[in-house]
Amino acid sequence: MESHAEAAVDLDVIAGNVTALRERSAPSEVMAVVKADGYGHGIIPAARAAVRGGARWLGVVHVAEALKLRAAGIGAPLLCLMAIGEDAHAAAIRARVDLAAGSVAMIRRICAAAAEAGQPARVHLKADTGLSRGGATAREWPSVVDAALAAQAGGHLRVVGLWSHFASADEPGNPSVGGQLAAFRDATDYAEKAGITPELRHIANTAAALIVPEARLDLVRLGGAIYGLSTLPGGAPGWLRPAMTLRARLTQVKRVPPGTGVSYGHRYVTSAESTLGLVPLGYADGVPRAASGALLTYARGARWPVAGTVCMDQFVIDFGDEPVAEGDEVVLFGPGADGEPTAQEWGEALGTISYEIVTGIGARVPRVYTGDGAHGAARASGRVR
């Protein structure tokens, strides 16, 4: 480890996960969702690794993310999942970025952007089948389809996809999944009868792609799974491997007497003479304050508790009588193969999901890459390993 801390990302693991997912999802195509800086793994290296592993599509949320991928020379089909009125849609259209539309207003904005770009937009119409987030409700759907057909006839856009998103696919057996699938079938039937000829229908995220085979349709939109994560109970299946390891070096070690209060508020007090180690990662780096007291660190072959309050830039571990030294490595989470905690465990211990843990890793924690393509990734992020 070159710096005091790092989030190490194995690009071969991402590529391998995508290949395994692709084999299991075939004949559905895989869209690798690389929004939010590739779930914290680095958008460009993650996208390249996913494409190398066989992802035909990439998915992001913001136009800015899509343009970043294009600027890096990534030419794969790319969908912007969230329609935001102020986004630079003309630039997206020129860059061959597909746009999502779930309202008549958004279709109008896309038409204006297409006129500005001087070329038709490629649009995926979004049906709200029960999540009650973005997309057209069953009542709004006919007017959205009508507006899209009129825009298509006017040469402003082409509807290439119809899609939706599940509310509870990660709750095995939840009846809303079947209900949303049926509602999506109704929406696609309606659109196709009205004259829309989509290339793709898609609704499945990681959880649905893994446990609801009938939801895979033409394309599965996989975020967590490509990084070896899932929101299903217990996390991702064993054939997917977590790609990120968060580790740090102890920056200071000290011996303290029994009864020593540790960190802000002295919420932890040593029960015996003890060795304290200082880890240079805090809540500004994505180590939640709620981790105080949790047995979520790993060093010298054992787990150690976070002693006292997690500060903005650092936290303390009580190593008891373990002979740790300044510079020793501490793993916060990794694949779990050597006994270290996983992001899944962090999520479970802190009442959240692994996605919040990995996307929360702060920008000042360097991402370090291994595997095929690591050199290019390091160059892009300014570090080589």
Ligand X SMILES: Cc1ncc(COP(=O)(O)O)c(C=O)c1O
Mark residues 271-310: x for contact with ligand X by CB under 6 A, - for none: ----------------------------------------
Per the CB < 8 A criterion, the answer to whether 145 and 194 are in contact is yes
Write down the residue that tokens 């360097």 correspond to: 366
Is residue 22 involved in binding ligand X (CB under 6 A)? no
Given the residues 193, 264, 283, 355, the one annotated as active site: 264
Q: Which is nearer to ligand X, 165 or 201 (CB)?
A: 165
Q: Which own/partner pairs from 142-149 qualify as long-range (CB within 8 Å, at least 24 positions apart)?
A: 142/190, 142/194, 143/104, 144/101, 144/102, 144/103, 144/104, 144/107, 145/190, 145/191, 145/194, 145/196, 146/194, 147/104, 147/107, 147/108, 148/101, 148/107, 148/123, 148/196, 149/194, 149/195, 149/196
Among 17, 206, 292, 297, binds ligand X (CB under 6 A): 206
Among 221, 247, 249, 367, binds ligand X (CB under 6 A): 221
Q: Which is nearer to ligand X, 84 or 311 (CB)?
A: 84
Q: Which stretch binds ligand X (CB under 6 A): 108-116, 149-157, 215-223, 327-335?
A: 215-223
> Rounded distance, CA 120 to CA 228, Å?
37
Mark residues 28-47: x for contact with ligand X by CB under 6 A, - for none: -----x--------------
> Rounded distance, CA 138 to CA 184, Å?
9
Residue 2, both tokens: 């070159």
Given the residues 35, 39, 126, 283, the one annotated as active site: 35
Q: Which residue type, as a one-letter code, is found at position 38? A: G
Among 78, 101, 222, 332, binds ligand X (CB under 6 A): 222
Least distance in Å: CB of 149 to ligand X? 24
Q: How many residues bind ligand X (CB under 6 A)?
A: 12
Q: Which stretch binds ligand X (CB under 6 A): 199-207, 211-219, 305-313, 366-374?
A: 199-207
Least distance in Å: CB of 201 to ligand X? 14
What is the footprint of ligand X within residues 83-112 (CB under 6 A)? Answer: none
Least distance in Å: CB of 5 to ligand X? 25
Q: Which is nearer to ligand X, 260 or 359 (CB)?
A: 359
DSSP reduced 3-state for 340: coil
Per the CB < 8 A criterion, the answer to whether 39 and 223 are in contact is yes
Q: Which is nearer to ligand X, 298 or 355 (CB)?
A: 355
DSSP reduced 3-state for 108: helix
Least distance in Å: CB of 205 to ligand X? 3
Per the CB < 8 A criterion, the answer to whether 371 and 49 are in contact is yes
Q: Which stretch binds ligand X (CB under 6 A): 144-152, 201-209, 249-257, 372-380?
A: 201-209
Q: Which is nearer to ligand X, 207 or 246 (CB)?
A: 207
Beta strand residue intervals within the chain, DSSP E: 5-10, 29-33, 57-60, 78-80, 97-101, 121-126, 157-163, 200-204, 219-222, 244-249, 252-256, 261-262, 268-269, 274-279, 297-299, 302-304, 306-307, 315-318, 329-333, 367-370
Among 53, 224, 341, 347, binds ligand X (CB under 6 A): 224
Is residue 81 involved in binding ligand X (CB under 6 A)? yes
Least distance in Å: CB of 278 to ligand X? 34
Is residue 152 involved in binding ligand X (CB under 6 A)? no
Write down the residue that tokens 């500004």 correspond to: 284
Strand 200-204 to 157-163 pairing: parallel
Closest among 305, 302, 286 to 294, alpha carbons compared? 305
In the annotation, is 39 catalytic? no
In order of 108, 241, 243, 338, the CA distances from 234 in angstroms are 43, 14, 17, 18
In the annotation, is 264 catalytic? yes
Is residue 165 involved in binding ligand X (CB under 6 A)? yes
Among 205, 245, 270, 309, binds ligand X (CB under 6 A): 205
Binding site for ligand X (CB under 6 A): 33, 81, 165, 205-207, 221-225, 231
Q: Mind telling me the catalytic residues?
A: 35, 264
